Amino acid sequence: MRNISSVLGRLAKSISISLVLLFAVTMTSNAQDAKEGAALFKANCSSCHKIDKKFTGPALAGMSERHDEEWLVKWIKNSGAMIAAGDPMAKQIFEEYNKVAMPAFTQFSDDQIKGIIAFVKEEEARLAAGPADGGATGGAAATNDANNFMIIGMAAIFLLAIGVIVILSRVTKTLEKVIANNQAAVEAARVRNESVEETGKVKFAQKFLKNKKLVGFAALMVVGLLAVLGWQTMWNVGVHQGYKPVQPIKFSHQIHAGVNQIECQYCHGGAYKSKNASIPSANVCMNCHNTITASDHYNGETSPEILKLYRAVDWDPDTRTYGDNPRPIEWVRIHNLPDFAYFNHSQHVSVAGIECQTCHGPIETMEEVYQYSPLTMKWCVDCHKTTEVNADNKYYDQLIEAHEKLKKGEKMTAAMIGGLECGKCHY
C-alpha cells in the first residue's frame, strides 16, 4: 500500500520536476549566469533576502518587474551611495526597511550581479510554477489516489481476512467431524495408553518430592532469584538513567552542539560560574534564531519548532518585532538531584575542568537528551575516588604541600582532600 502511494508520489514528483526542467530549458538564455548567480546568492544575499517573502530585506520576487536591470545593478553595487544621492526609489526602500542599509557589493562585476538577478528570476519562476503547475496538482491527485488506494487496500485485506476466517472455520468443522468419527477409536487408544503415560508423570513428581534435597535446592533457587530481582529493583528505585522525556520543543543537541559545534557554555552559561548550569533563557536562542529559521528543511517555511520559540518570546518574524505577551517554555527537567544533595556545576566545570560529556554523555550526538549517568551517590563517590585534583589552582597550594609530605608519589584525588565527606554535598 505504502509502496504504491510512494511510487505514485515519486512519479508525481518526477513529472513536476521534468515539467520544471522543461520550463527551465525554455529559458536557457541566462542559464549559465544563473548557475554562478545561485552560488553568489547563497553566499552573499540569502542571510537577509528570501525570494518569496520579506525577511531582513524585501522579498526579491518580481524585482525585475519593479526595477530595471541597470538600476538593480547600481543598487546592489552600492545602495548607500544611491540613497545619499537622493534616488527616490532607493530612499523609499531604505525608509520602508527601518533604515537598515544594505551592504555595498562593489566587488561584484556587472555580469555577476546580472547572474544573481537571473538566478532570482529563475527561482521566482520555479516557485511560481510549483503550486500553479502540473507538479503540484499532480501531487495532490497522487495523494488523493493514494488515499483511495489505501481504502481499497483496506477493504481487500478485510475481505481476505474474512475469507481466511471462513476457510479456517470450515477446516475446524471438518476436523471436529473427523474427531467425532474417531471418538471411539481415540477413547480406546487413550485407555490403552493411560496407564503407561500417567504412571510416568506421577512417578517423576513423586520422585522429585521425595528427594528433599532437590526440593530444598529448587526452593532456594526460587528464593534466591526473587531476592536478586528484588535487590536489583530496590537499588534502582529513584535511579532514572536513560530518562528521555518528550520536551515541549524538539531541540536537538546533535544539530547545535554536534553539527554546528556551538560551545556548551554559550547557552548553559551558568555552568562555569554558578551551581546551576541553567537552561538558557529564550533570549539566548533568539541571538541566532532571529535569522536562522531552518527554512531549507521545511520548503522555505520556518521550522515549526523554531516557531514555538517565536511564540514563547512573542516574536513576529514578519514585522521582526517583539510583542508583550511572552510565554515561558516549560522544559521537562531531566537531571533531578534530590533536594538534600548539593551540587555545584562551577566547582566541577571551572575548578576541576571536567568535560560536560563526563557526566552528561555524548551530548553532541543526542537528538533528544537523556540522562546518561545514574546520578547515584555511588557514581559521585566513585568518580571522587579516582579523579585527580586539578593542582594548578593556587587555592590548593597548602593542601598539596601537606599532601606531598603525607603520601609521596601518589596522585591526590578529590577523595583525599575531603571529597567524600558528608558535609561536602549534604547541608
| Interacting residue ranges for another protein, rule: CB under 8 A | 238, 240, 245, 269-270, 273-276, 278-284, 312-313, 326-333, 336, 338-342, 344, 346-347, 350-351, 392-399, 402-403, 406, 417-418, 421-424, 426-427
Q: Are 146 and 4 spatial neighbours (Cβ–Cβ below 8 Å)?
A: yes
Closer CB to another protein, 9 or 326, in the complex? 326
Nearest approach in angstroms of CB 53 to another protein is 26
CA-atom Rg of the chain in angstroms = 36
The least CB distance from residue 336 to another protein, in Å, is 5
For residues 312 and 356, which CB has a smaller minimum distance to another protein in the complex?
312
If the CB atoms of residues 90 and 267 are measured against another protein, the closer one turns out to be: 267
Q: Cell numbers of 98, please?
A: 527601518
Nearer to another protein, 78 or 346 (CB): 346
Query: How crowded is residue 37: how many other Cβ atoms within 10 Å of its Cβ?
Result: 25
Nearer residue to another protein within complex by CB, 281 or 302: 281
| Closer of 276 and 319 to another protein (Cβ) | 276
Nearer to another protein, 263 or 401 (CB): 401
Q: Select from 402, 282, 425 the least CA-distant residue to 416.
A: 402
**Rounded-to-integer distance, Cα 110 and Cα 74, Å:** 9
Task: Report the SS3 class of residue 321.
Answer: strand
> What's the CA gap between 167 and 161, in Å, rounded?
10
Of the pair 49, 360, the CB lying nearest another protein is at 360
Shortest distance, position 202 Cβ to another protein, whole Å: 40
- Cα–Cα distance list, 322 to 72, 287, 326 (Å): 32, 13, 9
Residues recorded for the chain: 427
Give the C-alpha separation, 105 to 87, whole Å: 18
Q: Which three cell numbers stand for residue 185?
A: 477409536
DSSP 8-state symbol, 295? G
Minimal distance, residue 396 CB to another protein, in Å: 8
Q: How far is the CB of 294 from another protein (least distance, A)?
A: 21
Between residues 95 and 410, which has the closer beta carbon with respect to another protein?
410
Q: By C-alpha distance, which of 252, 295, 270 is closest to 348?
A: 270
Cα–Cα distances (Å) from 231 to 97, 242, 243, 379, in that order, read: 68, 20, 21, 18
CB of 50 to another protein, least distance (A): 27
Q: What sign has the CA pseudo-torsion 267, 272, 274, 276? A: positive
Residue 290 CB, nearest distance to another protein (Å)?
A: 13
* Residue 390 C-beta: closest distance to another protein, Å: 9
User: Please, what is the Cα angle at 32 between 27 and 33, to 5 degrees?
Assistant: 95
Beta carbon nearer to another protein, 200 or 238: 238
Smallest separation (angstroms) from another protein to the CB of 407: 11
Q: Which distant-in-sequence residues (6+ apart) come within 8 Å of 55 by Cβ?
A: 48, 49
Contact 288, 267 (CB under 8 A): no
Grid cell listed for 405: 609530605
CB of 97 to another protein, least distance (A): 25
Of 238, 292, 226, whose CA–CA distance to 262 is shortest? 292
